[in-house]
């Protein structure tokens, strides 16, 4: 990074601005907020610390709210430890001075999955020179390359209670069981060659085609692409069986593996 401050502009090299894409969880609040917050609390109570330290973007598209409403909502979220890094789908007038910035050009994170590599979410390029434009274009290619290099991991030990395996880059394979109170979060699919007794969250970065496979289903929570299912909602005939779990529209489906 080069920084040159000079009134005469003796050094004409432009300031380099880099584009970089990050994955964020997107929360889409619904009216009335009090009801939505209650449901959020319920979710947070089931998965303690779920939002802790994760970047969150608030999608307010289509909501008829005022700046005061938004401010109140941000306050409520702040109290719950949910830190909002940006707001999507809002009119410019909705964003007050001390609020997170308006974000545009977000894409479902599924597009960031290994194969075809689109550019970063926002590549800002000063018009003074064409050089930084090339730099900005070159940048994401390197990143995508590194993503491609590690698109799956294999865990050879059982995942114990209290441990969490978080791998947003791709698939997670576990040679062993996932204990009650343990958590596996994968950007892609989750394969458990043992009993799945803890939580499994597949396609966590917006990949609806992700699946969960396990030898023995006794999970405390199953989620794909943000849609989740608790044990009570699961078909009892799959309990203790080897199953595959996938998403069909907005429904989580399961089927016994032969």
Partner 1 sequence: MAKVIVVTSGKGGVGKTTSTAALGAALAQRGEKTVVVDFDVGLRNLDLVMGAERRVVYDLINVVQGDAKLSQALIRDKRLETLHLLPASQTRDKDNLTAEGVEKVIDDLRKSFDWIICDSPAGIERGATLAMRHADVAVVVTNPEVSSVRDSDRIIGLLDAKTKKAENGERMEKHLLLTRYDPMRAERGDMLKVDDVLEILSIPLLGIIPESTDVLRASNLGTPVTLSDVSCAPALAYRDAARRLAGEQVAMTVPGERRGFINKLFGRRAA
Footprint of partner 1 on this chain (CB under 8 A)? 157-158, 160-163, 176-177, 179-181, 195, 197
Nearer to partner 1, 67 or 180 (CB): 180
Nearer to partner 1, 157 or 255 (CB): 157
Angle, CA of 36, 110 and 197, to the nearest 5°: 65
DSSP string, 153-172: EEE-SPBPTT-EEEETTSEE
CA distances in angstroms from 73 to 38, 59, 61, 196, listed in the order given: 12, 12, 15, 36
Measured distance between the N- and C-terminal CA atoms of the chain, rounded to whole angstroms:
56
Least distance between partner 1 and beta carbon 135 (Å): 41
Residue with tokens 């064409």: 130
Nearer to partner 1, 178 or 222 (CB): 178
Cα separation of 203 and 212, whole Å? 9
Nearer to partner 1, 106 or 158 (CB): 158
Least distance between partner 1 and beta carbon 243 (Å): 18
Per-residue tokens: 78: 């702040």
List of residues 6+ apart from 135 with CB closer than 8 A: 16, 18
List of residues 6+ apart from 252 with CB closer than 8 A: 222, 224, 227, 228, 229, 245, 246
List of residues 6+ apart from 99 with CB closer than 8 A: 70, 71, 74, 87
CB of 110 closer than 8 Å to CB of 185: no
Least distance between partner 1 and beta carbon 176 (Å): 7
Least distance between partner 1 and beta carbon 161 (Å): 4
Nearer to partner 1, 14 or 158 (CB): 158
Least distance between partner 1 and beta carbon 163 (Å): 5
Nearer to partner 1, 83 or 160 (CB): 160
Least distance between partner 1 and beta carbon 230 (Å): 18
Least distance between partner 1 and beta carbon 181 (Å): 6
């Amino acid at each position: 990074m080069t920084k040159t401050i000079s009134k005469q502009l003796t050094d004409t090299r432009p300031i380099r601005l880099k584009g970089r894409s990050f994955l964020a969880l997107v929360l889409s609040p619904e009216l009335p907020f009090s009801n939505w917050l209650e449901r959020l609390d319920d979710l947070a109570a089931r998965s303690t610390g779920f939002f802790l330290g994760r970047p969150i973007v608030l999608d307010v598209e289509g909501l008829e709210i005022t700046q005061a409403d938004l401010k109140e909502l941000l306050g409520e979220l702040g109290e719950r430890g949910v830190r909002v890094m940006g707001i999507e789908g809002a009119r410019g007038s909705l964003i007050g001075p001390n609020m997170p910035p308006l974000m545009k050009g977000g894409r479902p994170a599924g597009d960031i999955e290994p194969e075809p590599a689109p550019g970063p979410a926002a590549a800002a390029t000063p018009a003074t020179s064409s050089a930084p434009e090339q730099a900005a274009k070159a940048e994401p290619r390197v990143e995508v390359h590194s993503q491609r290099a590690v698109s799956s991991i294999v865990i050879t030990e059982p995942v114990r209670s209290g441990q969490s395996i978080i791998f947003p880059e791709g698939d997670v394979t576990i040679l062993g069981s996932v204990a009650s109170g343990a958590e596996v979060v994968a950007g892609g699919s989750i394969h458990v060659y043992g009993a799945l007794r803890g939580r499994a969250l597949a396609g966590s970065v917006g990949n609806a085609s992700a699946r969960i496979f396990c030898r023995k289903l006794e999970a405390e929570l199953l989620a794909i692409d943000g849609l989740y299912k608790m044990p009570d909602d699961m078909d009892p005939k799959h309990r203790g069986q080897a199953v595959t779990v996938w998403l069909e529209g907005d429904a989580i489906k399961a089927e016994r593996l032969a």
